[in-house]
Structure 1
Amino acid sequence: MTEPTIFRDPDAMRNWVLERRAAGERVGVVPTMGALHAGHVSLITAARETCDRTVATIFVNPTQFAPHEDLAKYPRTFEQDRARLAEVGTDAIFAPPVEAMYPAGFSTYVEPPSVAASLEGTIRPGHFRGVCTVVLKLFQIVPADVAVFGAKDFQQALVIRRMVRDLALPIEIDVRPTVREPDGLAMSSRNVYLSPDERRRALALSRALAEAAHRVASGERSRTAVEQAMRAILEPEVDSIDYAVVAEPESLECPARIELPAVALIAARVGSTRLIDNRRLD
């Protein structure tokens, strides 16, 4: 097992990638905030299948957290992450200090695209501004051929795809399916916050999405009816619901009549932990 090369300095990381690409190698990058689980590993594996070299970034980005959110307690497990990345053959890790990404006097931010306005954009004002800014900066520091993201963060992946298109960034975006626990819970770094009872109750999210898929597959096209069915499953189990909607998958608009393909999206709190999940409806 070869240990990945660890970079803290943006210039050194960029030079490493450019040297590989100049040698004709295809480079993939998987941006993460660490606390890696099997879902992240699946993204690294996907990148390795299509690339000669794979880079994982580990950076807990402060600009995408609101003051009341969980930045301070977000799990930071670098040594475990490094070992896990080594096991799956990651070539390099970019893990910069905050001051390397946001030096003194930093004041330039990316205005996110229109698909960032609803759902997470409404519940978490400023979140996608921070996401777009850090992702664009990572793409500048790690100028890879392809970046691999997971579909669990459906709106985030859509926002990033639109940013790449709108700003003509020379990178391919590859979005891979959500990885789930055997009982259906979507893998998330925040699952470690859940108590055993909360972990059980969190299964309501995947059950509600399955019910939405069943209703639509059975011919239901009323958005209100499908969303009510999702809430009927969620409300007895979760502590609050931020949204449980059926939307058009490219605009995230929510017309009264469901036209396929569509996507069902949920954000809810179980205990103090905020969880998100989604399911394509085809």
Structure 2
Amino acid sequence: MWKFPKTYKFNISLEHLPIQETKLRQMVLEWEEIGFRMFLPFHVFNWKTRPEPILHSHIDFDFFYQLSNFESVLFLCFPKQFEKKKKDHVTNILRDKFPSIKETHNHPTFLESIRKWWKDPVQLYFGNLGMVHTRLDMEGIKNPTGFLHLQIHEGESHIVFRVGYLKAIQYRFHLKKFKSPFPKIAECYIKTRDVHSDGSLGNVYDRFLGYLLESQTDEYLLPYFGLRPSVPDFIRELIPEEIWNLPTFFEMPDWVLTNLKAEELQFRTVFQVSTSSQLHLK
């Protein structure tokens, strides 16, 4: 005689979370206080965290789920499909709580990796490059970096923009040149500070949030050119239009950004393009 299961138990683990283990534990304790409501109808009966190197952490959740009569039959007949569907559902809930790991856990296919490698820019050429410093009121605004420690003074965060005219994009095998009038582009950075495992504060960095264009309606083009990420919408809406007040002296030198993979302004260094160089853009 068939014996239909009444409950289903499963485990979900998340590794390399960009958050200190102590902060992660505090976050989960707050979820526990409200009965892990975000997971219902799945119930948490055990969880544990552990630290990982470089201020990252790991978490394990043990869940159980009360099966309906129909689900008992499905689970008995199609256990693998049933398990995958339920696990994916709960994992997506967790990923919504950790937005910065979404991309990490969605592993691209081999073809997608090749396509991305082909389309990713390796150098950006700018004209009339300048720096703009401003402050944004962060009250009621979620942390755009995920879990990095923001440098906030009197409720405001220090924002840095590197603004200029985008003159060309160098890809792996071709150079995309723009014609005058060149589009205005900015890189947006927010000031953060390292936190050591003992809770002490470390170096201050300007963390890269993304690219933006002078006309927000044109920013759908950024992914087309391989310029990712774009500035989060909730930050983009706060950015003053004054950052685009650039001089129009095109005799100024061109600049090239080569380290597009870096995440801090201090490591996304630009270099002046010599007028005698073959790479100098007219």
Q: Normalising by the residue count of structure 2, what TM-score does the alignment of the two structures yield?
A: 0.30
Q: Normalising by the residue count of structure 1, what TM-score does the alignment of the two structures yield?
A: 0.30
Larger Rg computed on CA atoms: 2
**More helix by percentage:** 1
**More strand by percentage:** 2
Higher relative contact order (CA closer than 8 Å, sequence separation 6+): 1
